[in-house]
Amino acid sequence: MTHRTRHPYVFRGAVHCGVCERRMQGQYAHGVAYYRCRFPQEYALPNRIEHSRNVYLREDVVFEPVDNWLAQLFDPDPA
């Protein structure tokens, strides 16, 4: 079953929080795709578990380095 989304997320389901290792949720803000960890607001803060209040990752910051790495990995004629 395909879920419709308003915005595409390149790394949907593949980005995990560096603090709690839970999957991060896609979110658009000001026309830019972000991934955010919802764990602090929903569970960690009310239960006094140590976790940053806001954990965000901009998709465009990650996209280019990953794209370059994949291009090098699959380059048929490495220099």
Number of domains in the chain: 1
13 part of a folded domain? no
The domain in which residue 35 lies consists of: 25-73
pLDDT, tens only, 30-75: 888 999 987 766 665 566 667 777 788 899 888 899 999 999 999 8
Tokens of 13: 């389901």
Looking at residue 43, its pLDDT comes to 64
56 part of a folded domain? yes
79 part of a folded domain? no
CA 22, CA 17: separation in Å to the nearest integer? 5
Q: Is the pTM of this model over 0.85?
A: no
CA distances from 74 to 11, 61, 78 (A): 19, 21, 9
8 part of a folded domain? no
39 part of a folded domain? yes
